[in-house]
């Protein structure tokens, strides 16, 4: 075993892996909060199989003196908690990886070739306390100790976290954590392990959020007072969060019998004067397509949170992908406008979800908030959320006796009334209709109504979110990305340190910003980076600009890009 296991970097990647049911996600949840409370910037993301027990899951936690918001392949410290953990992540384990594990899991292979290994009897310690289930809390103690988290902060947090479990569970978890913490301090005092990661007191007061929480909070800030859903990963967490806080914010949360019902209830809620959202994933949204088209004909506002995962069909239900862009873009029979927002950051997830409700209300169109499993399940600390930017904009009118729901106006957006608010009658119909909302087969009226609905795209174009350019304006090569690839491409760009390389990120993918063409024309070479197999965003750009993206960097195995992958793919350019 090497004498010196020091790590002088200011950033550390810790990975824990074990079977479903071993509490890997609990470890992630506790450690990220402990480290933030201790002044470290943290980022975490997980990958897990679609099973309640068995299989092999892992979580990556990055700790740094600077903000970190993207996954890396590098593993500095690896804690395998089950037999399958090492083979599962073998490709990411290098000679520089420090492995902390028990002998029966490590085997002999990782004592060879100078591999950095320290045996820690997690299960033995846990069993002595009362049950092997406490192995994960021993791991919490070891990692906390190595990163010099004060024991008082550790025990206080465990008391809070397990407060609902009873005194015996609290006491045993604290015992497990204390034993792990002591092991870590012994390793540090021996000089065999050294960490040099500066801390900042300002981080302790920051917010630690994942994408799920940010979308849910954005919906609350947008005035959402009704949500309907049928459980489907990875979208379910948004609905669960809002259900937990429904009484605090006067939100009705309805778990329905299927996704067909979910969207129809959202349409009904908007008709009655509510501000409603449906939260679903690709397979569930496929059932909503008829309802989406109904919203298009009724000119009803709807907000749809569409959390992407790999398909077709059930696909990989707990993995990530960006392959539902075209599904959102072309879903529903007939032609009608829509808006598609694709948050790139946790802050985006909050602000864009909030604005989705205002946009839907203003233009009377479906608005998508297009996320994915990776964004929803990732945590990192942020300074704050600017609530002063939050304004709930309502565009309903009080009706009079002459009210016509689909009145043809100069602006082409008809006044939207609510039944019972005023003296008018609010008539809507799924068939083509006249200005009053009654069924018609008058072909001239049909043409006017189609044009009226499509005219909204021109009006929407006046407030499309501008794409963000990262890097020099005098670029030679332009990278293009959308949604959750934001941070990983940005960090890769930082590592490459090339003045000729810039990154254009889109958080609104439809309608496309009119400046897109000009950005593309200024580049000698263009590269689009997407988590799908067919470059759906690249096709959308070509459709609306006439410009073919020259190079494509695509990933579609169910995992997000790592920083190193982006760097490797861009070096040839």
Per-residue tokens: 500: 């000729």
**CA 16/CA 101 separation, integer angstroms:** 10
Considering 462, 493, 514, which residue would you say is the last residue of a domain?
A: 462
Q: What CATH number is associated with residue 349?
A: 3.40.50.970
Q: Are 28 and 78 in a shared domain?
A: yes
> Pairing between strand 77-80 and 11-20?
parallel
355, 401: one domain: no
Last residue of a domain, one of 166, 188, 205: 205
Question: Which residues in 26-59 are b (16+ Cβ under 10 Å) and which e?
Answer: ebbbbbbbbbbbbbbbbbbbbbbbeeeeebbbbb
Q: Clarify whether residues 100 and 172 are in a common domain.
A: yes
**3-state SS of the chain: helix, strand, coil percent to 5?**
40, 20, 35
Q: Give me the residue label for tokens 């899951």.
A: 57
Main-chain phi, psi angles of 134, to 5 degrees: -85, 5
pLDDT single digits (tens) 148-204: 999 999 999 999 999 999 999 999 999 999 999 999 999 999 877 877 899 998 999
Closest to 504 (Cα-Cα) out of 524, 514, 490: 490
> In this structure, are 452 and 494 located in the same domain?
no
227 and 81 within one domain: no
Domain that holds residue 30: 5-205
Identify whether residues 169 and 66 lie together within a single domain: yes
Per-residue pLDDT at 111:
57
Could you read off the pLDDT of 430-474 as tens digits, one per residue? 999 999 999 999 999 999 999 999 999 999 999 999 999 999 999
User: Model pTM greater than 0.85?
Assistant: yes
Same domain for 302 and 181 = no
Residues of the chain with pLDDT below 50 are 1-8
Yes or no: say if 532 and 322 are a contact pair by the CB < 8 Å rule: yes
Judgement on whether residues 334 and 415 belong to the same structural domain of the protein: no
Residue 400 in tokens: 């009079």
Peptide bond into 312 cis (omega under 30): yes
Tokens of 569: 């793919």
Tally the domains of the chain: 4
Domain's final residue, options 154, 170, 205: 205
The CATH number of the domain where 79 resides is what?
3.40.920.10
- Is 474 found in the same domain as 454? no
Kindly state whether residues 351 and 372 are assigned to the same domain.
yes
The answer to whether residues 321 and 175 belong to one domain is no
How confident is the model at residue 7, as a pLDDT? Answer: 47
The whole-number pLDDT of residue 2 equals 37
Q: Quick one: 111 and 233 in the same domain?
A: no
């Amino acid at each position: 075993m090497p004498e010196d296991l020091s790590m002088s970097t200011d950033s550390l990647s810790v990975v824990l892996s074990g079977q479903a049911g071993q509490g890997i996600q609990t470890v992630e949840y506790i450690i990220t909060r402990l480290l933030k409370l201790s002044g470290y910037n943290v980022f975490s993301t997980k990958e897990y199989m679609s099973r309640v027990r068995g299989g092999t899951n892992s979580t990556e936690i990055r700790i740094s003196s600077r903000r970190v918001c993207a996954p890396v392949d590098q593993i500095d410290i690896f804690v395998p908690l089950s037999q399958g953990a090492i083979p599962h992540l073998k490709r990411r384990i290098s000679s520089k990886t420090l492995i902390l594990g028990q002998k029966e899991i490590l085997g002999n292979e990782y004592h060879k070739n100078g591999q950095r290994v320290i045996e820690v009897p997690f299960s033995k310690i846990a069993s002595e306390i009362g049950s092997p289930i406490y192995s994960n809390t021993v791991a919490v103690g070891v990692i906390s100790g190595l990163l010099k988290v004060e024991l008082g902060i550790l025990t206080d947090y465990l008391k809070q976290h397990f407060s609902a479990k009873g005194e015996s569970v609290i006491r045993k978890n604290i015992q497990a954590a204390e034993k792990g913490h002591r092991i870590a301090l012994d390793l540090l005092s021996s000089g065999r392990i050294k960490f040099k990661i500066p801390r900042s007191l300002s981080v302790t007061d920051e917010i630690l959020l994942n994408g799920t929480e940010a979308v849910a909070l954005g919906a609350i800030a947008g005035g959402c007072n009704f949500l309907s859903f049928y459980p489907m990963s990875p979208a379910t967490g948004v609905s669960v969060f809002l259900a937990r806080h429904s009484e605090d914010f006067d939100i009705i949360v309805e778990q329905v019998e299927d996704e067909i019902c979910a969207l129809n209830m959202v349409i009904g809620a908007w008709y009655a004067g509510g501000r409603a959202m449906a939260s679903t994933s690709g397979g569930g949204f496929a059932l909503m397509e008829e309802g989406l088209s109904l919203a298009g004909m009724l000119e009803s506002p709807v907000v749809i949170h569409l959390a992407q995962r790999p398909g077709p069909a059930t696909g990989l239900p707990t993995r990530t992908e960006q392959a539902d862009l075209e599904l959102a873009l072309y879903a529903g029979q007939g032609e009608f406008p829509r808006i598609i927002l694709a948050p790139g950051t946790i802050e985006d997830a909050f602000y864009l979800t909030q604005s989705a409700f205002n946009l839907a209300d203003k233009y009377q169109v479906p608005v998508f908030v297009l996320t994915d499993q990776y964004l929803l399940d990732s945590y990192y600390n942020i300074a704050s959320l600017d609530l002063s930017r939050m304004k709930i904009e309502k565009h309903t009118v009080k009706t009079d006796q002459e009210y016509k729901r689909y009145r043809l106006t100069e602006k082409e957006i008809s006044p939207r009334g609510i039944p019972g608010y005023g003296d008018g009658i609010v008539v809507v119909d799924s068939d083509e209709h006249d200005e009053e909302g009654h069924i018609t087969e008058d072909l001239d009226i049909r043409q006017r109504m189609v044009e009226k609905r499509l005219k909204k795209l021109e009006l929407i174009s006046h407030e499309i979110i501008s794409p963000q350019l990262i890097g020099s304006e005098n670029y030679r090569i332009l990278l293009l990305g959308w949604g959750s690839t934001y941070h990983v491409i940005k960090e890769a760009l930082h590592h490459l340190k090339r003045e000729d390389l810039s990154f254009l990120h889109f958080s609104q993918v439809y309608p496309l910003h009119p400046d897109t063409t000009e950005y593309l024309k200024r580049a000698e070479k263009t590269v689009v980076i997407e988590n799908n197999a067919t470059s759906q965003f690249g096709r959308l750009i070509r459709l609306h600009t006439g410009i073919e993206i020259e190079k494509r960097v695509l990933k579609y195995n169910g995992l997000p890009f790592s920083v190193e992958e982006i760097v490797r793919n861009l070096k040839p350019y």
